[in-house]
Amino acid sequence: MNTAAALRLVAVTAAERPRFEAMFQYYLYDMAEFTGARLSSSGQYKYPFSTLDVYWQNPQFQPYFAFCGNELAGFALVRPCPEDPQRWDMEQFFILRHLRRQGLGQSLLRGCVERHPGRWRIRVMTGNERAWQFWTAAIASLNPCGYEENRCEENGLEMRTLVFSTNTGAAAT
């Protein structure tokens, strides 16, 4: 079975939020390599989950699960870009480690972009070279017109950004 072709993008309902927050712990574990986060005494990573309330309150903010067959494979959080609400921003994006390198991440990106066409911004923590390589390749395959690279700081973390457009043929307009 082509796992990438089998990917399903499903909106995360409010009733599924506990499942989402449990999956988010795996994301925090992966990101701890770059953020320096440590487990709390409860055995979980601390995260201000209340900051994600908007995903279940505002229809412009979309939380998605990615399924490979019936298996939960990852998630994506799509929102309007805070600095430019006419541009989409991938706030968070995650595929479980054992399902990576099978085309699922690229399929998840494609599904998000198809549901939210237009201008996009993707942020990658400086130093996360695996993610940078993934994003540049995934965007290049999705948008042969290319992307624009920038840098920014967010929450005290240095980020590299990729800006691209999916509906005009222009790199970053």
Give me the CATH number covering residue 149. Answer: 3.40.630.30
90-136 pLDDT, tens per residue? 999 999 888 888 888 889 999 999 999 999 999 998 888 999 999 99
On whether residue 2 sits in a domain, the answer given is no
On whether residue 58 sits in a domain, the answer given is yes
On whether residue 1 sits in a domain, the answer given is no
On whether residue 145 sits in a domain, the answer given is yes
On whether residue 73 sits in a domain, the answer given is yes
| Residue-range definition of the domain harbouring residue 152 | 7-165
On whether residue 171 sits in a domain, the answer given is no
Q: Specify the pTM.
A: 0.88
Structural domain tally of the chain? 1
On whether residue 32 sits in a domain, the answer given is yes
Please give the C-alpha separations between residue 117 and each of 1, 63, 90, 170, in angstroms, as whole numbers. 28, 16, 13, 13
On whether residue 172 sits in a domain, the answer given is no
Please give the C-alpha separations between residue 4 and each of 11, 67, 76, in angstroms, as whole numbers. 18, 10, 16
137-151 pLDDT, tens per residue? 999 888 767 888 888
> Using 50, 70 and 90 to split pLDDT, how confident is the model at 171?
very low
165 - beta bridge partners? 119
Q: Which amino acid belongs to residue 157?
A: L
